[in-house]
Structure formats: C-alpha cells, structure tokens
Amino acid sequence: MDYYKCIDKLKVMKNTMLLLLLFVVNCNLNSLGQNSIPIRNIIYNLQENEVLSYNEALLKTNSNGKNFVLIIKDTVKKHESFIYNGKKIIEIKDTGNNYLHLSQVNLCKINSFILEYSIGNKYFANFNGITFGPYEELNIMYCEEKDEYGIMYKLGSKYYLKATNEKFGPFSESHYSVLIADQNIIYNNLYRESHEEGALVTAVVSGKDYIEILDNKFISINGEIDNNTLKSTDHIACLYFFSKNNFGYLKLLNEKSEILPGWDIELKYNALVVNNKIISLFHEKDNYLDCVLTEKDLFIIKNNQVLKNNEIIHNNMHHILAYNSKVDFLFETKNHEVYYNNQLIHNDTNSVILSGIVSESENKLALLYSKNNEQFIKTQNSQLGPYENVENLKYDIYNNLTFSFNNDDKSFFYNSKLGISSDQCIKTDFYYINYDMTLKFRNHFFESSYKYDYIVVDGESFGSSPCIESWIDEANSCFKWTALENKEYVLYSLHIK
C-alpha cells in the first residue's frame, strides 16, 4: 500500500512540475509576443511622383507623431513643397535657382515654423503661415533675450529689421548683430551664434537714432558718416553703446610714432575708442574680451582683469565664465574657486569648471562643472545632476533655467518651471542625420543603424528601414521611432515590460 501511495505522490509532483514549466513558458511567450507587436501609425503617404527634397534629416516630428514637417519634390510637375501636419503651406517651381529652406520649427507648438524661400531673384519668409516679402535680400534673425525671431531684409537700397510688430531702419548695410538699446536686446543672424568670432554688434538702434559700422571702416550716424571718426582707421570691429553721445568701438591701429610713440612699430595694436578718444590700447597678444559702457562708468575686461574707469576692481580672474550688461561677473580663479562678483559660490578642487551663465534681468547664475566623469549644475539655491553631455545652458525669456542632457543614452530637456521632458521642441538642423542610434530602458535595448533595413529591440527585428528619430516613453513603457518605409512616413510604438 505504501508503495502505491509513493507512486501517486510522484505522479502528482510530476504533473505539478509540468504545469509550472508550461506556465513559465507561456509567460515568456506572452512577454515576447507583447514586445513583438509594435503599433505602426502612418504619419504621411508620399504620392507616386513625390520624393523627399533632401534626406531623411528633414523629416521631423514629436514622439506622438501629431506635429510633423517635411519638404517634398514632385518629379513630374517639377514643384517643391513644404508640408506641415499634412497640409501644403508653400509650393514653388523647382527651376534649379529657386530654393525652399526650413529655418526653424517648434514641434511642441501648433503653427510654429519659419521658412525662407526664393522665386526668381526675390526673397520671402513665412512665419507660422504668414508670408513676408518679396525682398531684394533676406536673413533670419534671432533674439535670445526675448526668444523671438525677426528678419533683416533689403528694399530698394536700404536694409530694415522687422521684429514682432516693430520695424527698425533704414540701415545702409545688412548686419549680423543689431543692438536695440532701449530694450537692451540683440538680434543675431540665426546661423551665427553670439559667441562666434565676427558676431559682434555692428549696428545700434537708440530711439530714432541709428549708428552703424560701414564697410568695416567708418561710423555712420543716421546715414551720415561721422566726421569725428579718427583718421587712418583700417578696420573697426565692434560697437559699444550707451547713448548717441556715449559710445565706443574697437579699431585696428597702423599708426606708428604719432599715436604709439616709442613702441615697436612691427607690433599690431587695437584701440578702444570711446567718444572719439583712445581709452586703452591692446596688443595683439593681449587677452582682451570686452568692454561695458554705463551712464557714468567704463568697464574694460583685459588680461583676466576688470578695470572700472581704469582702476582694477577684479584682479584674480583666471577664466571669465560670464557677465551681463549690469556688470555682474561669474569667474574662476587660478585656485579653481568660482566667484559671482565678490561672492564665493564654488570651491571644489576635485571638480573641473566647464561653463557658466548669468541672467541679464535677474540676480541669477548657473555653473556647469564635472566631477568623477559626471556633470552637475549649481545655482545660488540648488544643485542639479548628475547628468551626461549638458548643452544649451541658458535662462529663457521668463528667466527659467533650461538645458538639454543625456542620461543612460536617453536625451532629456530641462526647464526649471516645466520640469524634464524627453521631447526636443526646437529643431534647427535639417541637413544631418545620425542613423546609428542606441537606447537603453530598464533591461531593454534598442539599436538602429544605416547598415540594416530594420531596427533591433532585445534581439528581435522590426520594420523595414533604419529609424530617423527615436524616443523612450517612460510613462507608457514604450520605445518609439520614426522611419521612411517605401512611400510611408511611419511612427512605431513598441510596448516593453
């Protein structure tokens, strides 16, 4: 009897083990099945005669696929068109001389884009569906302080700056950087960052007065050459401005004994000229950075020193990180201490200072530094991080701190008011695409490469082409990516456990 009971128990144990094994296999198959069925949404269907005007870099959308742009070419009609959310906004004849260029798009807002295009020898701009032009010449301008775009254009023989509901001009030349003195803001050419060499202010608007550098040689006030401009000026580099009667500029000096007596005539010098007087000389080897004019004072930044009316007020600057028009300075000393004006804000010899910013309108700063291969951001009231690859650190028009960063191969965008987002709103680069992408979310891996006509997630292939853009949707536990498959621009969503 005991023998048969033993056999029965063994049968029960065997059946139980088989049930458990089947349950585990079934769970794994269910998990694999969920990962193997991505949702495929068609964003846009190219028609039979339609092709992309450029490469896939111009196919842009956000992670929900509800805001998208592309430029297409009709190979039969020989037309080129800008498509926004499926609607044809601009169509021009493709003659080889006409051009259609997307300058900027905000994929987090509806109807937020900037187009430049030409028809024949006339130039146009389209802001959010509203067309400006025709003009003889055209450049897109950007004001970082107001987070606002404008245009520098030519009509007749003169140039004008149009921004929001205002128009400034006439100017005698087109300018890359224009200071609107009454508002203390600068409009820079969209394709030239404010820190780049050559992006110095060359025109100032103050009330009804217009001051310009013309032909890199002369100062013009309201269209008339300033006869007080010092003679023998070979090159004028930049305008420093407080008022019509209180402004300066940099110029290259070729004079020898008359202005630079006793100095080596082979050496080249720049002079800071304020109100038609040479205030300071700079040898070509000097570390000259800038000057700031106020109503009563002149600040000169030279050789890691700050001089106020020729008296040194900061003398221990090893590296000037940032400053504003109110002359608030953020700088690093030779001992790797960081000061905001005279206030010590960072003293960690094990860290490496990377960059810093100072708010123009409020008493705010942000310091970016690295430590143990991680990056951190310090403000007066907080410390953020760790991050990887922090970029575009700035204060926006509302004085919110913003920047982009990576963590675990994922891209994020930080706004001190709105928090962290995985969607990049502003797009300006439409001519380069990186087809090699990897993402990691929990224990799952996403990979795409131009070498393969599919993407890979956890050892399984999906789709029939490499991805164009990719995201991690943490809230819904999804990998998302876009692709161009034959004539279909598609968005995939793959749920993962």
**For residue range 84-133, what is the model confidence (pLDDT) as tens digits?**
999 999 999 988 889 899 988 888 888 999 999 999 999 999 999 999 99
Most confident region among 51-65, 79-93, 180-194, 247-261 by mean pLDDT: 79-93
Q: What is the pLDDT of residue 323?
A: 84
Q: What is the pLDDT of residue 79?
A: 93
Q: Which residue has the higher pLDDT, 337 or 200?
A: 337
Please answer whether residues 338 and 321 qualify as being in contact, where contact means their C-beta atoms are separated by less than 8 angstroms: yes
The answer to whether residue 343 sits within a structural domain is yes
pLDDT confidence bin for 299, thresholds 50/70/90: confident
Are 412 and 443 within one domain? no
Lowest mean pLDDT of 16-20, 209-213, 389-393, name the range: 16-20
Please answer whether residues 90 and 80 qualify as being in contact, where contact means their C-beta atoms are separated by less than 8 angstroms: no
DSSP codes joined into one string, 147-214: TEEEEEEEETTEEEEEETTEEEEEESS--SEEEETTTTEEEEETTS-TTSTT----EEEETTEEEEEE
Tell me the per-residue pLDDT of 65-82, one tens digit each, with 9 for 90 and over: 888 999 999 999 999 999
Are 388 and 466 within one domain? no
Domain boundary among 376, 395, 420: 420
Please answer whether residues 471 and 480 qualify as being in contact, where contact means their C-beta atoms are separated by less than 8 angstroms: yes
Q: Which domain holds residue 390?
A: 316-420
The answer to whether residue 394 sits within a structural domain is yes
pLDDT confidence bin for 329, thresholds 50/70/90: confident
Phi–psi pair at 28, nearest 5 degrees: -65, -40
Tell me the per-residue pLDDT of 384-433, one tens digit each, with 9 for 90 and over: 999 989 988 988 878 899 998 877 656 788 889 888 776 667 776 666 67
**DSSP for residue 230:** P
The answer to whether residue 118 sits within a structural domain is no
Are 479 and 456 within one domain? yes
Are 409 and 328 within one domain? yes
Are 330 and 391 within one domain? yes
The answer to whether residue 438 sits within a structural domain is yes
Are 415 and 487 within one domain? no
Residues paired with residue 215 on neighbouring β-strands, in sequence order:
none
Phi–psi pair at 488, nearest 5 degrees: -110, 125
The answer to whether residue 59 sits within a structural domain is no
Phi–psi pair at 52, nearest 5 degrees: -70, 140
Are 356 and 395 within one domain? yes
The answer to whether residue 382 sits within a structural domain is yes
- Tokens 């068109």 belong to 81
Q: What is the pLDDT of residue 368?
A: 96
pLDDT confidence bin for 17, thresholds 50/70/90: low
The answer to whether residue 481 sits within a structural domain is yes
Task: Return the sign of the alpha-carbon dihedral for residues 201, 206, 210, 211.
Answer: negative
d(CA 483, CA 440): 19
Share of the chain above pLDDT 70, in %: 83
Are 321 and 415 within one domain? yes
Are 464 and 388 within one domain? no
The answer to whether residue 304 sits within a structural domain is no
> Which tokens belong to 269?
């010098």
Q: For the stretch 312-343, what's the b/e string if a residue is b when 16 or more beta carbons lie within 10 angstroms of its beta carbon?
A: eebeebeebbbbbeeebbbbbbeebbbbbbee
Lowest mean pLDDT of 250-254, 433-437, 492-496, name the range: 250-254
Q: What is the pLDDT of residue 13?
A: 54
Q: For the stretch 209-222, what's the b/e string if a residue is b when 16 or more beta carbons lie within 10 angstroms of its beta carbon?
A: ebbbbbeeeebbbe
Domain boundary among 420, 445, 470: 420
pLDDT confidence bin for 238, thresholds 50/70/90: confident
Q: What is the pLDDT of residue 437?
A: 87
Mean pLDDT score of the chain, rounded to an integer? 82
d(CA 305, CA 288): 9
Q: What is the pLDDT of residue 50?
A: 92
Sheet holding 277-283, edge to edge: 235-243, 246-253, 269-274, 277-283
> Which tokens belong to 192?
């030239």
Q: What is the pLDDT of residue 350?
A: 92
Residue length of the chain: 497
Are 326 and 401 within one domain? yes
Domain boundary among 371, 391, 420: 420
Are 409 and 333 within one domain? yes
Number of compact structural domains in the chain: 2
Q: Closest by alpha carbon to 339, among 373, 363, 314? A: 314
Are 359 and 447 within one domain? no
d(CA 173, CA 157): 9
Tell me the per-residue pLDDT of 455-488, one tens digit each, with 9 for 90 and over: 999 999 999 999 998 888 888 899 999 999 999 9
d(CA 251, CA 195): 19
Please answer whether residues 327 and 290 qualify as being in contact, where contact means their C-beta atoms are separated by less than 8 angstroms: no
